Amino acid sequence: MEKRPHFIRREFPPREVSSISLALLLAAVLLLNAILYLHLNEFYTSSGHAETDPTLCPFGYFRLGAVKNCSPWLSCEAINREVRKLKCVGEGAVKKVFLSEWKENKVVLSQLTNSELKEDFLHGLKMLKALQSKHVVRLLGYCEQQFTILTEYHPLGSLRGLNETLHIPKYKGMNTWHRRLMLAMDYVGVIRYLHSSPLGTLVMCDSNDLDKVLSQYLLTSDFHILVNDLDALPLVNRSAGRLVKCGHRELQGEFVAPEQRWPYGEEMPFEDDLMPPYDEKTDIWKIPDVSNFFLGHVEGSDVVRLHLFDIHAACKRKDPAERPSAQEVLDTYRKVLTLLIREAAMPGTREML
Last-in-domain residue among 138, 153, 168: 153
Last-in-domain residue among 103, 131, 153: 153
Last-in-domain residue among 153, 176, 192: 153
| Most confident of the ranges 109-123, 142-156, 333-347 | 142-156
Task: Give the pLDDT confidence score for residue 352 in this predicted structure.
Answer: 46
With contact defined as beta carbons under 8 Å apart, do 107 and 100 qualify?
Answer: yes
Nearby residues of 68 by Cβ (< 8 Å), 6 or more positions away: none
What domain range includes position 161?
154-346
Helix, strand, coil in percent for the chain, rounding step 5: 45, 15, 40
Nearest to 257 by CA among 242, 244, 239, 268: 244
> Reduced to 3 states, what is the DSSP secondary structure of residue 128?
helix
Check which CATH number belongs to the domain holding 80 and give it: 3.30.200.20
Q: Are residues 269 and 326 in the same domain?
A: yes
Give per-residue pLDDT as tens, 95-131: 999 999 999 999 999 999 988 899 999 999 999 999 9
With contact defined as beta carbons under 8 Å apart, do 211 and 163 qualify?
Answer: no
With contact defined as beta carbons under 8 Å apart, do 255 and 209 qualify?
Answer: yes
Section 194-212 average pLDDT: 96
Section 59-82 average pLDDT: 93
| pTM summary value | 0.84
Q: Are residues 137 and 201 in the same domain?
A: no
Q: Are residues 127 and 232 in the same domain?
A: no
* Percent of the chain residues topping a pLDDT of 90: 74
Can you count the helices (H) and strands (E) in the chain? 11, 11
Task: Give the pLDDT confidence score for residue 48 in this predicted structure.
Answer: 39
Instruction: Answer yes or no: is pLDDT of 353 > 50.
Output: no
Task: Give the span between the Cα atoms of 324 and 164, in whole angstroms.
Answer: 32
HSE-up (13 A, CA, CB side) for residue 102: 24
Structural domains counted in the chain: 2
Q: Are residues 184 and 238 in the same domain?
A: yes
> Reduced to 3 states, what is the DSSP secondary structure of residue 119?
helix
> DSSP character for 173?
G
> DSSP character for 160?
G
Task: Give the span between the Cα atoms of 209 and 286, in whole angstroms.
Answer: 9
Angle at 345 between CA 339 and CA 347, to 5 degrees: 85
Q: Where are the beta strands (DSSP E) in 126-172?
A: 139-143, 148-152
Check which CATH number belongs to the domain holding 220 and give it: 1.10.510.10
Residue type for position 257: A
With contact defined as beta carbons under 8 Å apart, do 341 and 37 qualify?
Answer: no
Task: Give the pLDDT confidence score for residue 303 in this predicted structure.
Answer: 96
Asked, for residue 36, whether it belongs to a domain, the answer is: no
> DSSP character for 258?
G
If phi > 0 it is left, if psi is from -120 to 50 it is alpha, else beta; for residue 347 that is beta
Q: Are residues 138 and 158 in the same domain?
A: no
Q: Are residues 167 and 303 in the same domain?
A: yes
Nearby residues of 165 by Cβ (< 8 Å), 6 or more positions away: 156, 171, 219
With the C-alpha atoms ordered 158, 161, 163, 167, is the resulting torsion angle positive or negative? negative
Residue type for position 144: E
> Reduced to 3 states, what is the DSSP secondary structure of residue 192?
helix
Section 268-296 average pLDDT: 97
Residue 219 binned pLDDT confidence (cut-offs 50, 70, 90): very high
Asked, for residue 13, whether it belongs to a domain, the answer is: no
Which residues are bridge partners to 202 per DSSP?
Answer: 235
Give per-residue pLDDT as tens, 2-58: 555 554 445 545 545 466 665 565 555 555 554 554 455 544 443 334 445 666 899
Give per-residue pLDDT as tens, 229-271: 999 999 999 888 899 999 999 999 999 999 999 999 989 999 9
Q: Are residues 213 and 106 in the same domain?
A: no
Task: Give the span between the Cα atoms of 312 and 16, in whole angstroms.
Answer: 48
Give per-residue pLDDT as tens, 154-176: 999 999 999 999 999 999 999 99
Nearest to 291 by CA among 181, 137, 202, 190: 181
Asked, for residue 192, whether it belongs to a domain, the answer is: yes
Q: Provide the greatest CA pair distance for the chain.
A: 117
Q: Are residues 191 and 125 in the same domain?
A: no
Nearby residues of 258 by Cβ (< 8 Å), 6 or more positions away: 285, 318
Task: Give the pLDDT confidence score for residue 335 in this predicted structure.
Answer: 97
Instruction: Answer yes or no: is pLDDT of 314 > 70.
Output: yes
Asked, for residue 12, whether it belongs to a domain, the answer is: no
Task: Give the span between the Cα atoms of 287 and 323, in whole angstroms.
Answer: 11
**Phi, then psi, of 340 in degrees rounded to 5:** -70, -35
Q: Are residues 116 and 264 in the same domain?
A: no
Asked, for residue 15, whether it belongs to a domain, the answer is: no
Q: Are residues 143 and 189 in the same domain?
A: no
Task: Give the pLDDT confidence score for residue 290 in this predicted structure.
Answer: 98
Tell which wins on pLDDT, 20 or 86.
Answer: 86
Task: Give the pLDDT confidence score for residue 54 in this predicted structure.
Answer: 63
Tell which wins on pLDDT, 1 or 70.
Answer: 70
Task: Give the pLDDT confidence score for residue 47 in this predicted structure.
Answer: 39
Q: Are residues 241 and 341 in the same domain?
A: yes
Task: Give the pLDDT confidence score for residue 65 in this predicted structure.
Answer: 80
> DSSP character for 170?
G
